[in-house]
Every structure is written in structure tokens, then in C-alpha cells.
A and B are shown apart, each in its own frame.
Chain A
């Protein structure tokens, strides 16, 4: 009986050790204040500073991030970066938010550009001005639109994108269309009609498809000469001609049977659109330039990328994510974190990142570099987003926009699924959002 008790005890003790083992390991990396202050008083032989870095890209892009972090760790002996994948942007944001309250937030994280305002307003982010005084000029100005909030610098561009029109060039050629794709909404409509194939009431190939996502809607509103928010950012401005045009454009094409609204919420719809494109079930889709590498490799046909077609004018929002440093991190970690951010967004890394994913390079030097220019010659698709930047605008970033964009998306879907007219849906979105924007 003694024996039994002893073994039970051993079991419990062992388990405790295992559980705490993991726990304390985390405490050491999770920005423990005591560890931080110990570091400051330490000498040069002090242990390397550990920082946590959260990212939100899966698949090949995620693997590339891991390998870049490894390279950083190999070249910076005084800093150890621990990368952690947290799912898509939504999941990552939720995790960061929850972790801040728990005090085990990362030191660096990706934040989708439209949510920077919300995080900054909540005082979650470190003001980067003191760190970046002499580096900020290296970044492309067009990509800094979502970096500032109330005149303070909070975020450094990393995986930055614009939406593009992806083309199945083989399909376009077979239909006798210009393989460079449509330039305007009318042409897009026309191309979609010509690419659509249906037999006996069943559509086997749709000409065009896009997730009913806020980002593409923003693009089409900009192209129609409008904006999502009023100038002061306190009102939703989409119950207007420019706000209605995109919705009618989509619903008309859907009713006509030449556009497919992919099923699924949030990124599930993106997955369907991309999978349809790769499987040649649709001829053209909207998606991020960040998908260029992945789609080009998966597709067994000639993939083309083109500007988002113009309505009144060309236009697109920038997108993707910036890197931020969390305000709650201890000073030593912040310093190390800045080193990491600076390195990740520096020219050599930016070139590597851009050419292996499709995201845009973020430094002026990178865009102008010989390496990039040579790459663009062999892979002109990769330059489209950079060229489109001329017409691009920053995403709205008032703090409430994080929730407002969901409201807009739900209402857009309502209209697309024929549950409300465009006017009703937009008015609904305005009514709900204005309460939050005040």
C-alpha cells in the first residue's frame, strides 16, 4: 500500500514537473519582467535576449518566414527570435488581444494594416519613432499609409500587397481574348461572359470569381471615385453612387451567371476562389499579389496578373500586414525586437521575401535594385502590384474599422445572396457602422 501511494506520488510529481517545465519555459520567453531587468544589469556575456514573434501566414509563405527567422538567429548571436504561427489575420489578432491581457503577449507581431488603428488606440503598440528616426526614409512612402496613427509611427511595412486581377491566360487566348486581360469594368464583364461555359443549364466554367471581401469592395469603391469613410472618419460613406456601383456590378454578373461568389466565410471563400482558379473552373479571380508565387506554382497553365480593372479610374487599397512591437514588452526585448523588425524589412530580406512570395518589396532600394529589375524581366507578374501602387490608397484604419469591416461584409453578402437590395444593404451597413464610428 505504501508502494501504491509512493508511485502515485511519483506520478503526480513527475507530471507536475512536466507541466511546469513547459510553463516556466514559456514564462522565460513570454516577456517576463524580472528576466528583462536582470538582462539590463547583466554584462555582455549575458544570455541572448529571447523575443517572441507571431505571424499569420500558413503554407509556403509561412515556411519562408520560419527560414528567415532562422537566418536572423544564425546571424544575431545576442538575440533569439521564437516564431509562432497563429492562424490567419483574424485569429492572430484575437490571440494578440487576449495575450496582452494575460501578460504573455509576443514582442513582435504581424498586424493586418486595417487593424493598426485599433491596436494603437488601445495603447497596445510601442511608438517606433525613437527607434526609426534614421531608417524610416528607406521605406516606400506609398506603403506607410497604415503605419501612423495620430501622428505617431507604430508599424513597419512587411508583407505588403495590393489586390490584383489574376488571369488564366491559356483560357483567355482560347476564347480569342487579349491575354493581358480586361482594363475596365465593362471589359471585365465582357471577358467574363466570353469565358463562361455552360451546358444544359449547368455552368462548368465561370468567367470571373471573387470572394465578397471588404478588401475587394474597397478597391472597387476607390475605382468608382469614392471612399469607404467620410473625410473625418466618423461616418460610413458607402450609401452613395460609388458605394453602390461595385455591389451592382457584382450582383449583375452573378445574376447573369458569369461570376461565381465563392461560398464560405472570410478566408474560406478565398480558398475556394483560388482552388477554382487552379482547377480551371474560373477564368479570372481577384486575390492578393501575395498569392502570386503559390498560384503560379500550383497552376498548370499560364498565370497572368493585371491591374484591378478601372471604373472611373484605376485604384486599389494596399493591404497585407505590418510588423509592430508591443508596448508591454520589457525594454531589452523591445530593443531586440526592433533589431529584428529592421532586419526583416531591410532591402536584402525584402527582395528575397518579395521574389519568393509575390508580396511587394517594401524599401525603395529594393524596388530599384538590379536584382529586382532582373527578376521582373523574367517574371513580369511580380511587378504589377508595384506599378499599381501609383493608384493605391491606404486602408481605412480608425479603431472601429476592425468591426465595421465585418458589418459591411455581412451586408454585402446579404445583397449578393439576394436577401436585400443594394440600397437596403448599404443603408443597413451605414446605420450600424455609424453607431460605432462616432
Chain B
């Protein structure tokens, strides 16, 4: 009796768990299903679950309605460019904060803290004016440079560097390695898990970003994928949800694929901020 209620409770919990998961996953499934339907089927009510015939043509329509290859390349260039510059600025700064004592250290560290909290959306106007004075509007630089220093990256790396045992560095110094070498050759490899974590976080954030490229770009040569996809709105006879959803799959699938393989890392990357 007792045993059987426990089993029942376990089953009920399992069903509820699946229900919760569906609330978050099913919308993506709906995106997927819509992307394969025909226009008349999309505008059918109540809707059909599975497409009557699977329309791969929607992907073709979406892909050919703009220079999507260019958008993808730009998105990748920006996300990777940001990451490289962030690492080049964050590694030395984190090393200094973690390993040196110098006048004004806490003050400078505090400045970085503030930068962590205030989102760039709040100050896009002056940055726009500034970048336009530099003649950088509508270049990929305008998407990369404002994110060149990552306070979050500095934090993560500083923590990782602080955990490296002193002996390791002492040994390196006795080998008369230069500080620069120690930083890149000894410290960075030891912080590898953190680097992966930060890399995933940064890449996903910039791959997904819409606001910044919307403001800063005005030609296809430098547009990124999220902006390109919002241009999919077709004029004739209402919104082509099937094509729009097909376009969005291009934006969503790579991230879901990465997530599938690096779930633990990614969840750690995003949650790290809270620690």
C-alpha cells in the first residue's frame, strides 16, 4: 500500500516534470513545425499539428530573401572579434588585479564593477555620436569596440588567477621567465575551464544581440543575423510566419546545437555571474 502510493507519486511527479519542460521547449517545437508549413496551412484555425507536406522551400525563401551568408559571417566575425579583444584586455587586467598590489587598485577595480552593472543600452546615444565622430558607424568595428573590455571577463579571470598556487609562479620566476610570459604561458593555460566558460558566454551574448547592430549598421555588408531576420517581413498578403520561423531557425539552431553538446559549461557560464 505504502509502496504503491510512493510509486504513484513518483509517476505523477515525472508527468509534471515533463509538463514543465514542455512549457519551455514546446514553443521552439512550434517554431520548427511552422517553418515547414505552407501559407494556407499557417492561416488555418484551429491549427494543424504536423505540416501536411513538409515544405523545405520556406528555408530557401528565407535564405534567398537577403544576403544571409553575409549576415552569418558578420555575426561570427563580430562574436569572435569581441571575444578576442575582450581576452586581450581582460587577461592582463585580471592578472594585475589578482597578482599585484598597487596604488589605486581597489579604485580601478571598483570602476570595472560599475561597468559590469550598467548596460550599454542606457548610453547608446553618446556612444553613437562618439563612433560617428570616429567615422566607425556602419562598420563591424562599431559592433566590436564598445564591447572591447568585459568587466565580467576580468572578474572571472581574476578569480581563476587568484587560485593558481604561488609555487607555480615562483617556479616560473626562478626560471627567469618574464611576467608577460608567465601570464600567457603559465596562468592562461591553468585558467582554461574559465576561459571556455567565458568564451561561451560572450559568444552567445553577441551572436544574439539585436539592439546594437540595429542602431549601428545600415547596410547589408555589416548587418548581423538578428537584424537580417527582422527584415524578413514580407509585404504581400500579411506576415509569412512560415518563412519568418524558417529564418529564425538559422538564428536558434546553432545555439541550441552548442547547448546540446556543452550544456553543463553553458549553464555554468551564465550562472557564474551569481557567485
Is B226 located at the chain interface by the 8 A CB criterion?
Answer: no
Q: Is the CB of B231 within 8 A of A58?
A: yes
Q: Is the CB of B239 within 8 A of A99?
A: no
In this complex, the member of B128, B181, B184, B221 whose beta carbon has the largest number of chain A beta carbons within 10 angstroms is: B221
- Bound-state Cα–Cα, A310 to B99, Å: 81
Known contacts A23-B139, A278-B237; A99 and B218 CB within 8 A of each other: yes
Q: Is the CB of B236 within 8 A of A59?
A: yes
- Bound-state Cα–Cα, A98 to B128, Å: 9
Q: Is the CB of B218 within 8 A of A15?
A: no
**Closest residue on chain B to residue A273 by CB atoms:** B238
Known contacts A4-B185, A12-B84, A58-B231; A22 and B237 CB within 8 A of each other: no
Is B88 located at the chain interface by the 8 A CB criterion?
Answer: yes
- Bound-state Cα–Cα, A267 to B141, Å: 32
> Which listed residue, B128, B132, B139, B181, touches A22 by the CB 8 Å rule?
B139
Q: Is the CB of A23 within 8 A of B141?
A: yes
Chain B: minimal CB distance from A353 (Å): 15
The size of the chain B interface, using a CB distance under 8 A, is 38
Is A122 located at the chain interface by the 8 A CB criterion?
Answer: no
Is A60 located at the chain interface by the 8 A CB criterion?
Answer: yes
Of A218-226, A292-300, A337-345, the stretch lying at the interface with chain B is A292-300
Tally A-B pairs: CB < 8 A.
Answer: 119
For B236, what are the chain A residues with a Cβ–Cβ distance below 8 Å? 59-60, 274, 291, 294-295, 297-298
A38-90 at interface with B (beta carbon < 8 Å):
52, 54, 57-62, 82, 84-88
> Which listed residue, A25, A59, A84, A297, touches B234 by the CB 8 Å rule?
A59
What 0/1 readout, one digit per residue, does chain A (17-45) give for beta carbons within 8 Å of chain B?
A: 01110110111001000000000000000
Q: Is the CB of B132 within 8 A of A101?
A: yes
For A12, what are the chain B residues with a Cβ–Cβ distance below 8 Å? 84, 88
For A11, what are the chain B residues with a Cβ–Cβ distance below 8 Å? 84
What 0/1 readout, one digit per residue, does chain B (162-190) give for beta carbons within 8 Å of chain A?
A: 00000000000000000001001100000
For A99, what are the chain B residues with a Cβ–Cβ distance below 8 Å? 137-138, 218
- Bound-state Cα–Cα, A294 to B74, Å: 32
> Which listed residue, B136, B181, B235, B237, touches A23 by the CB 8 Å rule?
B136
- Bound-state Cα–Cα, A60 to B235, Å: 7
- Bound-state Cα–Cα, A26 to B129, Å: 18
- Bound-state Cα–Cα, A76 to B72, Å: 32
Is A102 located at the chain interface by the 8 A CB criterion?
Answer: yes
What 0/1 readout, one digit per residue, does chain A (78-120) give for beta carbons within 8 Å of chain B?
A: 0000101111100000010011011110000000000000000
Q: Is the CB of A15 within 8 A of B81?
A: yes
**Closest residue on chain A to residue B77 by CB atoms:** A18
Is B105 located at the chain interface by the 8 A CB criterion?
Answer: no
- Bound-state Cα–Cα, A52 to B237, Å: 30
Q: Is the CB of B184 within 8 A of A4?
A: yes
Is A271 located at the chain interface by the 8 A CB criterion?
Answer: yes
A182-223 at interface with B (beta carbon < 8 Å):
none
Is A378 located at the chain interface by the 8 A CB criterion?
Answer: no
Is A275 located at the chain interface by the 8 A CB criterion?
Answer: yes
Q: Is the CB of B220 within 8 A of A84?
A: yes
Q: Is the CB of B235 within 8 A of A294?
A: yes
Q: Is the CB of B219 within 8 A of A26?
A: yes
For B77, what are the chain A residues with a Cβ–Cβ distance below 8 Å? 15, 18-19
A364-383 at interface with B (beta carbon < 8 Å):
none
Q: Is the CB of A274 within 8 A of B185?
A: no
Q: Is the CB of A275 within 8 A of B237?
A: yes
Q: Is the CB of A1 within 8 A of B181?
A: yes
- Bound-state Cα–Cα, A52 to B128, Å: 21
Q: Is the CB of B84 within 8 A of A298?
A: no
Is B135 located at the chain interface by the 8 A CB criterion?
Answer: yes
Is A5 located at the chain interface by the 8 A CB criterion?
Answer: yes
> Which listed residue, B81, B184, B218, touches A1 by the CB 8 Å rule?
B184
- Bound-state Cα–Cα, A21 to B88, Å: 21
Q: Is the CB of B218 within 8 A of A95?
A: yes
B208-264 at interface with A (beta carbon < 8 Å):
215, 218-222, 230-231, 233-239
Known contacts A59-B235, A60-B236, A61-B235; A19 and B81 CB within 8 A of each other: yes
**Closest residue on chain A to residue B218 by CB atoms:** A95
Q: Is the CB of B231 within 8 A of A15?
A: no
Is B204 located at the chain interface by the 8 A CB criterion?
Answer: no
Known contacts A59-B235, A101-B129; A22 and B218 CB within 8 A of each other: no
A286-330 at interface with B (beta carbon < 8 Å):
291, 294-295, 297-299
* A-B contacts besides A59-B234, A98-B218, A294-B237, 16 pairs, CB < 8 Å: A4-B184, A4-B185, A5-B184, A22-B139, A58-B231, A58-B233, A82-B219, A84-B218, A98-B128, A99-B138, A101-B128, A102-B135, A103-B132, A274-B237, A279-B238, A299-B237
A-B contact pairs, 19 of them (CB 8 A): A4-B184, A15-B80, A15-B81, A18-B77, A19-B141, A22-B222, A23-B141, A30-B138, A59-B236, A85-B220, A87-B231, A102-B128, A102-B132, A271-B238, A274-B236, A275-B239, A276-B238, A278-B237, A298-B236
Chain B contacts to A: CB under 8 angstroms: 43, 66, 74, 77, 80-81, 84, 88, 128-129, 131-132, 135-141, 144, 181, 184-185, 215, 218-222, 230-231, 233-239
Chain A contacts to B: CB under 8 angstroms: 1, 4-5, 11-12, 15, 18-20, 22-23, 25-27, 30, 52, 54, 57-62, 82, 84-88, 95, 98-99, 101-104, 267, 271-272, 274-279, 291, 294-295, 297-299
